[in-house]
Every structure is written in C-alpha cells, then in structure tokens.
Structure 1
C-alpha cells in the first residue's frame, strides 16, 4: 500500500533466499516477470490489489516451497496448468481477475470469485480433503453442484452464489458438519433444500433467487410436494427389515462418534482462519472495553444502520468500530454485504476491514481509524478550511476508488451511496471510500439492476434510481457529480435554498455561465489572490465536469475513467501555475 507504480523489476529474481514478497495494494502494471520463478525459497507471494495483466507464469509450478499465493484484484487472464503442480500450497487467491480457466491435496482456501469462469465445477474438487474455504461466486459457472463437494469434510464456508448453476442441492452436503456458512443464492437451482446437518442453521439469504427451490417454511420457499405411494405387502416387508437394520446401524454410528469424541477430537482453530476471513475475531467484551462501554465521548458518527465509535484495542492501536443497529431488519443484510464486499476489495482509497465481531444479537466491523473524520465534517467545520488543492486531491482519490470499483473487476461493483459522509480522511488527508452496506456487483450481461427498495440518500441519488429503482455504474457517476459540486460550493443538496424545481445541480447550471464567483465557496476564490484567474479557471472546469456527470440520461454521462483523467489534467494545470 505504498502507491508504487511501474512494473515488477526483474532484478527481484536475484534475491534467491527471499521467502516473503509483499507488493499488495499498489499501482503496479504489466505482466508478472518469469524472473520471480528463480526465488526457489519463496514461501509467500502477495501481489494482490494492483493492475497486473497477462498470464500467471507457467514456471510458478516449480516454486515447490510456495504456500501462500495472493494474486487477487488484478487483470490477469490465464492460469497455467502447471500451477496445479503445487501440491503443498495452502492459500490461493485469484479472485477478481479476468481469468479463463487435481492435485492440490493440502489446499485450505480457494478464492476464484468475480472472474469469467463459464465451465462446470469439476467433480475432482472432492479430492481437496483439507479445503476449508471455497469461494466461486460471481462467475458464470454452469451445470450442477457436484456431489463430491460433500467429501470436503473440513469445509467451513462455501459460496457459489450468482452463477448459472442448475439441478438440486446435493444431499451429500448434509455430511459437512463443520460448514458454518453456505451461499447458493441467485442461481437456477430446484428441488428440496436439504434440512439435516448444517442446513438446520442456515437462513433464507443462503438460498434466495432460486425460484424452483422448495423446503421448510422458515426459509421462505414454497413447501415441497409430497408423493403418495400405495404400499404393498412387499413394501411392508422391506420396511419391516430395513428400518430395524438402519436403526441398529445409526446406533452403532452414534456410539462410534461418542467414543471418537472422548478420545479428544481437536476443535477448529480460529487462529488458522485464512486472511480473507478476518485475521482475528473480537468478542463483544473486547469491543465494549475498547469503546469505553460505547461511550458518547467515543462516538464518531451515526449512519442509517448503526453508529461508529473510536476505539483502542489491547495492543494500543486506534481503530474505528462500526456497530450495526439490529433493530433495523436491513442491518443484518447490510453487515453481510459490507463484510463480503470490503474483504475482497483492496485499494488505497477504499477503507480496510481489520476484523469483526458477530453473534446473533451483536454485529460490528473493526475498521481503519481515520483521524480527520469525514469529508462532510471537514467541509463544514468552522475551525478548518480545506484549500483548493486538498479538495481536488480528495475528489481525485474518490474518483480513483470509483474507477477501481467500476473497471478493476470483471464484474463492476456499484457503491450505491456516494456522499461526503462516506468519504473518510486519514493522517495525510488521503480519502478512503467507506460504507459498502448497499454495494452491488453488476453481472456482465446486465447494464443495470432494478431493486424495489430505494435506499440511497436523498439529494445524491440519480433520478433513475429514485424513479424506477434502477442501479448502475452511471448512477454512481451521478452521485459523484453532486458530491463534486458540493465540495466546491460548500452547499449541501438539501440546503434550504433548494426547493421545488431548484436543486443544487440546476443552481450550478444556471449561474455558472454568469460567473463562477456566484457559486464557488468564497473560501476558495478571492479577487485579491494573485492566482485568481488560474484558480477561477480550474474551478470552472471542475463544475463543467460535474455537469457532465449529472446529465439526465444515464447513457450520456461520462465514466469513472474519464473523470479521473480530467481531474488529473485540471490538477496538473493548477500545479504548473500556482505554487502551494
């Protein structure tokens, strides 16, 4: 996370005793050099969260000491078959690339989510006996869920959501007694949802979006039709023989399990959780103590689904704790979405999750602490004034995060709630986009989604979202345009001067041709300033850009890539003519 750019230098290949190479969360581009294959002692390689493209080198299959390989959130297009020679690899993260797709006997985690896989799930996956976490969501996988997944006896989490899977949910999955989380939502599955083993604990969110599923009423699916069979003497005889035998067999199994448990079967070790789950879970008591009992003095802010507190954890590190108000039914969903999104998204301008705390009656996220608070707080502070460079840099940061969400994945991610209170500022006034509780991945074949509940913030939401519930990347661009206007006018879209047909957008549009001085925040422009003309021109360009973001027709709005390019040009022009 040092904002490094350029390519990975081939000279790194000379460090032949190197065991750990961590290059994550930068701006590195180009292909992964074959020279890295000379690092024979390499134990972990993390180059996730960059812009690397092309192929994963075939010679990676020779790195026999490699245990952890993190290449997620890049633009890679192909995995070599030699990668499957790494029989001892533990963690493999290739999520959020553009990949077109055995022998990994001790693999613990596979994350291939958000790619373009359109094949079937191979039945040989059942051979990964140590696998605990399998994430294949947001692809185009077809065919049925293999019965052999039921052989993954150590599996704790399975996510196959948002694919094109069909057929039934295999009854073999009832054997997965360690399975704590399953998500097969938004596929084309049918038939009865299994109801034994771990399935007793799953909720409706795990199965939604499959219209032909049936099962128990608590899962909010139709009941399954029961077939009435006419029994014959032969059937009666079979029942009379099979039932007692199966009872005896079950009793034998139970006795065996009890004896096995007495010998001391080891409990799952949370310390071995892979990093795609949280590095360490906090208890409610730890969160309570770290926030001084959720003291008002620690309260940073309140949002739609909860409150955020400043906290100091035991090692002295300052963090922010987002506590979800579970009185709101949607808070549960918001927590799940935010966990799922942020743990996969890695960018210097997007807030990072440190950990979480989750139980039936308490849910919280532990996040990076941002000392300068939100853009909203800084913008309207009576003690502090953001100068023109700070405001421009903040908006470039937000636009960069937006570009990453919209174009950094094979599946675009829509934030759905861009506004100044969701932009947080660190020690160096670098902006970090936060609050992904309403974010939505957009499947490739769709240009937009329609949702029945309109949950975005009044004043910032795109008109098509408010009217029809239409969600798209263009809607995020509209919200960014409104936020850009607000940042340089220092007027909220809900300001009392805006009523009826007069909105912030119309106000800027009507007065900008007359004079930029009519609309710009007076703290930014003064006619006594020697650089008044240059700064005035810069602000005028910014407002014109904001108007291009907020045109009525979604299709005619510019995209996030263009926004970043234009803002960088405006800043370059300003820097050439104005000394800070």
Structure 2
C-alpha cells in the first residue's frame, strides 16, 4: 500500500511539473510575440522621416507597453496587436517589410499620410488581415498579385496613390469574402478583368480615374450584392451591358467621362434601388421613360449631360420626389420644360443647357413653379429657345439660389426688379437675349454678387450708381447694349473688380480719374463709346512690354504717368500726336532707343520725366524741350545733347537711332472706333465660351486668353512658361510661347510611348512645387493657378518642367484673404473638393 501511495505522489508531482513547464513556455511564447510586434512597429517608426506632431517620437517608445501606444489596439487575452490605425497623421516615409510580422493584425489603416515607395510583399502574407486602407498616400509601383490572395480580407482601399500596372486577370480567384475594392485615382491600365465576377460578396467597386480601357465586362452582372459601381473617368468604350440591370441591390452607377456609345439599355431605368446615375460625357443615346417616377422611385442624382439623348422630359419626372440634382445639358432634348417641375421639393441643382427646350407659356411658368424648391442653389438654362419674358415671380425663387443662368434663350422684356430678392446670388447671367429697359437699381441689394453678365441685349438708360454698392463684384459685363450717360466715379468702390466690360454702348463724358484706384483690375474695355480720356496713371506696377503706337490717337489726353514699371522698347513716334498732353512721366523703366523728335510738337507739355531708362541718342532741342532741365533726362547713360542738360556732347556723324530690336509682350491695346476709347487688357481671343454661353457672347468667354496674358506678363520663374511674343489682328489672337520639345507631362504619364524613371519624376515634382511656391508666396499678389493637371505641365529638352495655361488663374485680392469663391470650373478630376463643390479656391486648391 505504501508503494502504491508513493507511485501516486510521483504521478501528481510529474503532472504539476509538466503543467508548470507549459505555463512557462506559453509565457515565453507570448513574450516573444509581443516583442515581435514591438520590433515591427519600431521599424515602421524608423522609416518615418517626417512626423509633424511627434506623436510616434514621443509615444512609441521601447520602455512602454505596445498596447498603450497611440493608434494600437491589442487583443485582451493574447496581448497581440490586432489593429494599427495611424491615419491622418501627415506622416512621411516608407512602409518597412517588417510590418508584415504583425501576424495577428486584422486592421491596417495608414490612410491620409504622405507615405511613398512600394507596398512590401510581406504585407500580403498577413492572413488574418480583414481591413487594408492606404488611401491618399504617394505609394507607387504595381500591386502584387499576392494582395488578391488574402483569403480573409474584407475591404481593400488603395485610393489616390500612384499605383500602376495591370489589374491581375485572376483578381478574385482567392478573395471569397471581399466586400469593398477601392483602386480609384491611380494609374492602372488594362481591361477590367471578367474574373471580378468571382468576388461574390462584393458590394462596392471603385475603379474611377485610372487608364482602364476596353469594354465593361458583362460578367459584372453576376455580382448581385453590388451596391455601388464607380468606373468613371477612364477610357472604357463599347456599350453598357444589359446585365447590369441584374444588380437588384445597386444604388450608385457611375460611368461618366468614358467613350461609351449606343442606346442606354431600357432595363437600367427599371432598377428601383438606384439613387445615383452619372453617365455624363459619353456618346450615349436614347430617351427617358414616360413613367420615370415609377421605374426610378428612389433616384436622387440624375446626371446625363454631354451625350446624345433625345425626346422630351417626361412630366412624370416631377414625381421623383427625392431628386436633388437633375442635369440633362448638352443633349438633344426638346419639348416643354414641365410646369410642375416645382414638385421636386428637394431639388438643389437644375441644369438643362444647350438643348431644344421651350416653355409652354410666354411667362415661363416653370420658373414660377420652381419657387417651391426651397433648397435650389443652381439654375442653368442657357442656349434653349424659351421665347418668353422673365416673370416678376422670379423673385420668389429659393433664397439659397447662388447661380442663375438664362443666357441665349430669346428672352425679351424688362429685367424684373424682384431678382434683387435673391439675396445669396453669386452669379447672374442674362446675356445674349432681347432684354430691354434699364438695369434695375434694386440690383444694389445683391450684396454677395460676384459676377453680373448682361451683355448683348438692348438695355437702355444710365449706369446705375447702385451697382457701386456690390463690394464683392468680380466681373461686370455690360458690353453690347444701348446704355448712355456718364460712367460714375463711384466705380472706385468696387475694390474686388477684376474685369469691367462697358464697350459698344453709348457712354459719354470723361473716364473718371478715380477709376485708376482699382488696384486689382485686370481687364477693362470702354471701346466703341463716346468717351474722352484725360488721364492715365498706371505708375508703380509691374507692367512690361512696349507702349503701343496706337496710343497717339488719344488726342484729349492731358496726363500720363507710367513710371516705376518694367516697360521697354522705344518711345513711339506717335507720342507727337498727343497734342493735349501736359504731363508725361516715363521714368524708372527700361525704355530704349532715342527720344522721337515728333515730341517737339507737344506745345502744352510742361512737365517731362524720362529719367532712369536706357535711352540713347540726341535729346531734341525744339519746341518745349528748350525749357526742360537735366532732371528730365538723368540716368540715361547714352543720351547726348546740350551742355546744360549734363549729358555728353553728340557726335555730328553719329546717326540717330529710332528703333532697336525688342522683346514683344502684349501690354496695352487702344482702339479708336467712332471717337477716342480705351481698352487696357489683352485683345480678346476668338475661341472658348463664357459660362455655357452661345456664340453671340463669345467675346466675354475669351477672358481666359486675357487672363493668361495678364498673369504671364507679371511673373518670371524658371519653371513657368515663357512668353516670347504675340500675334494679333482682327481675326486671330495668339500667344507665342517657348517651344517645349518633350511635350506635356500628360503625354508621358498616359502613353505607352514614353517612359520616365523615378529621378525624372522626382525632378518634375520639385519643378512644379517650385513654380507653385513662387506663385503662392514669392509674387507680390498670390496667384492661384486653379487648373493644375499633367497636360498643363510642359517639359523642355532637359525634362525641366514649366507650368503653363493660366487661363482661369485667380489673384487673391485681399491682404488678409486666403480663399475666394468662384464659379469658373477647372478640369473635372483635378479639382480640389471644396473647389468643385462650393467654388472655393485657395493656394491649397493648387496643392491638392
């Protein structure tokens, strides 16, 4: 019995010993795993070269527990790292391969940083990973096929990086649980793999803004759980497959900005779950179903612009009560705009430009109906034969309305004063109609108005002083009417004004001298009026180029001050025709050549200052020149003349030099129609259009040509395009720019015929950044490019980047303003969100 008891004790002791060993081993294993996780995270920290808030530097330390670090989540039982989320930390650096050692990780979120380099293949061996988010970084290279072998993954988000290459043909062979795939805003180029249909659980597919080509695979119709398809802004072609109508859970269909053709499959209009349909900028045809309210009962966003759709707008569309955006512009729709369109109480944007739409009554009763749409912000009806007059009920439209465009619509009658009730209006475009009567003085109440376009009508009366109350007005276009009287001096109150077009009217009297206090003005046109210009003061600016010879036509000019600029070239001989001139100051410029003897005819010239230029040759001695002293000519080393002028004596045999070769930069154009008129700005070009305008108002759509000239003549930088000259006559306007032998960055990025190495890409990025730094911070007035994209970055023979196309550039107009609002849109796909949505631009818009 004792022997049995001893054996029993030995057995118990061995059991306890073995249990103790297992506990110790487990503890050791856990310790090693935690250590492995710590080492992987510290390796990531070591690969971060910029941590602006020092979160990792101060928090991720080896003497604290990994599970207490910022962005780290651990399992309560195993103490292993299960989630890493350091999104939006603005970190710069690369992803180390050691990160793949986080073998228990289920969530990896490094989004919204500035991480670069390639994604290590070790990341794709993390077989427990369910959520992978690298959105909004600078990651490059191709996506390894291993990423599509992560059998546990549910959500892959690689949006807005620089990833390239082809999408693997077996993309969904080993992703049985994948629910979301976001590869948009990269540089992938290939066809869309038909194997996507094997991702049976897929709910969101986003491949927008790549270079994908080919047809949309019909197999996509097998993904019956899909809720969102985003394939816009690619190079897809062919027809939209009927099989998409099989997707009974689909809520969002985005196929815009491709090369799709053919009739839109009718079954798509029977997808009762659809909320968003975006098909703009294709070549699709067909018509809207007669009972669209029944076939698309939940639709909220319908964007079919820039296609070939035809037929009528069915009145049943007004029963689609959830509709917020209805955009059918630039198609072939005809018939009447439904008078019941005001039933769309949630409507925020109505855009129907450039169709063949009419109003069922001359009172434009559909406009009165829209008064029920209290959320309405934009109405664009340009280029439709409405053939009516504006009702006074237009003043009952939504107080939220910001844009009202009814141009080239054959509208007649007076402009209703009630428009002034639209207190939040930013842009009002009524040009190219048959409007008569005066400009309503009540317009002075539109305190937020930035753009007023009334050109090419039959408006009469005077320039209302009340317009001078519009302190935020940026564009004022009254060209081509029958306005008369004087131009009020209160124009100087419009301190934000950049463009003023009063040409082809019947204004009389002098141009108010106080007008020159508008320091941000870029363009103004007073041509084809009956004006008398008495004075010009453009001193202390950055004006460059030659003074045009046509300036001699200003017979009544008494005062001219162009001092402290960068004007060059000779003094025009036509200065001798300024017979009323009393004061002339051209000092502190770069004027060259000789002083023309024709100026001896200026009998009223009492003050002359040509000092500190590069003039040469003999100083005239006739006429009033006999009365001028040495101060008028000092600082011109090569002038010669009489001893009392303190210049060198002239050599008798030395011929006079009237002209020198010079660099031509378009600066001032002065035209002389019926009487003397002045246009300071770049001559209007012939192409482009205003805000969706018709041909009659083309002259104002050409502001982009003028804007480019005005911006380019003020800037100098090695990474900005250089203007060599200009070509200009009545039928043709062009800039001559420095030739860039390597084309545009867009050519190199989006063509298989060009290949750039990583160093060339880096240098181009630095060049563009240097150009933006100059525009934003080193120029006297910050300039916002507003349309930064690869096709506007030109490359010279040494692959040095030069930023071009300043057609819609903006100047920040106030010393304490960092943003401004505009309705001029840049290229879709390259606009910052706040620019595309609300028209807000800033230096950050360019950086985005």
**TM-score range, shorter-chain basis?**
0.3 to 0.5
TM norm structure 2:
0.31
TM-score scaled by length of structure 1? 0.44
Structure with higher Rg: it is 2
Greater helix share, 1 or 2?
Answer: 1
Higher strand share: 2
